[in-house]
Amino acid sequence: MNGALRIGMDIGGTKTEAVALDRDGTVVAVARIATVGGPDGVVGTAERVIAMLSEQTGCAVAEFASVGVGIPGRIDREHGEVHNAYNLGLAWLPLAGRLADATGLPVALDNDVTAAAIGAAHLMRLDGVVAYLNLGTGLAAGLVIDGAPVRGAQGVAGEIGHLPVDPLERPCPCGQRGCIETVASGSALKRYWPAGGDHPGRVLLAAVDAGDVEAVHAFEQLVRGAASCVRLLSLTLDPHTVIIGGGLRFLGSRLLDGIRETLDGWAAQSPFLGMLDLSGRVELLAADSSAAAVGAALASEGRRR
């Protein structure tokens, strides 16, 4: 191994995954550990996972080329700060500076969904306009055009989960009603299908197959909400590909088939939609993909502290 290796990590509310990439963007090592919350916990988690990659690759920490971090919240890339990542216990954290001081490496931050979009486009060898729809605890999209991420003026490009367009008009923690996130997300399943427990996505399909009427309704609402997001992204950006990612992607082919069938049903009712081949654009991110960590490593070349 050599100093050209780049580190990318995806810091989530429960686990942190990190990868080492070689010059060609190939993953040569992977490490996963539980995330410790709070400012010191997050920094410490990042330090530990870097040390694990160092041990795996035989590359001293100081010899890595860069570190890229994908993390939830509003990201100030210029100053290397994370704001409002509440599921990690962070109101504000100058993560890039603290991690750079601890490791001696240049560090760049990105929103986790944006990082996942970058990584998915790279790993799936997708060109043109790519939209990454993250169906996780929350709902958001990452956008990549010809290999370049779209972040927006305030870094909130792709926050479609808080578009108040759902006719159910359920209240959203953001203060609005009818946000798509109140239908198509893990938090929506947990809130409106309490029988699913703390991790409803893991038991949803079994409950559907057992004839649980409320589970069937919850799954139908999830599929409709996800399909609405695909339609919204398609009509806004006209992407070549819409990738379904996030933890709910583990619902697998039944989720993907449901989204496609819903889109085809709308297309059959609308000549306009019928011309757009919406269902043909949708793909599912592989279950074992390290897209967010890979994307964070790739993005680290764009801005570092």
Question: 31-79: per-residue pLDDT in tens?
Answer: 999 999 999 999 999 999 999 999 999 999 999 999 999 999 889 999 9
Give CA–CA dist 16/12, Å, rounded: 6
User: 238 is written with which tokens?
Assistant: 């006209």
Specify the 3-state DSSP secondary structure of 150.
Answer: strand
Buried b (16+ CB within 10 A) or exposed e, 24-51: eeebebbbeeebebebeebbebbeebbe
CB contact at 8 A, 251 and 204: yes
Give CA–CA dist 274/267, Å, rounded: 4
CATH class of 125-284: alpha beta
pLDDT of 286 reads 97
pLDDT digits (tens, 9 = 90+) for 216-243: 999 999 999 999 999 999 999 999 999 9
Sequence spans of domains, the chain: 6-117, 125-284
The alpha carbon torsion through 91, 97, 103, 104 (nearest 10 deg) reads 180
Other beta carbons within 10 Å of 146: 9
CB contact at 8 A, 295 and 119: yes
Whether 125-284 and 6-117 are alike in CATH topology: the answer is: yes
Give CA–CA dist 68/300, Å, rounded: 5
Per residue, the 3-state secondary structure of 38-97, as one string, reads CHHHHHHHHHHHHHHHHHHHCCCHHHCCEEEEEECCEEECCCCEEEEEHHHCEEEECHHH
Q: Using CB atoms within 10 Å of the CB of residue 194, give its burial: 0 to 12 exposed, 13 to 18 middle, 19+ buried.
A: exposed
Residue 23, CA distances (Å) to 26, 56, 65, 289, 296 in order: 7, 17, 10, 19, 15
Give first-to-last CA distance, the chain, whole Å: 24
pLDDT digits (tens, 9 = 90+) for 183-202: 999 999 999 999 999 999 99
Thinking of the domain 6-117, which architecture would CATH place it in?
2-Layer Sandwich (3.30)
pLDDT digits (tens, 9 = 90+) for 112-152: 999 999 999 999 999 999 999 999 989 999 999 998 999 98
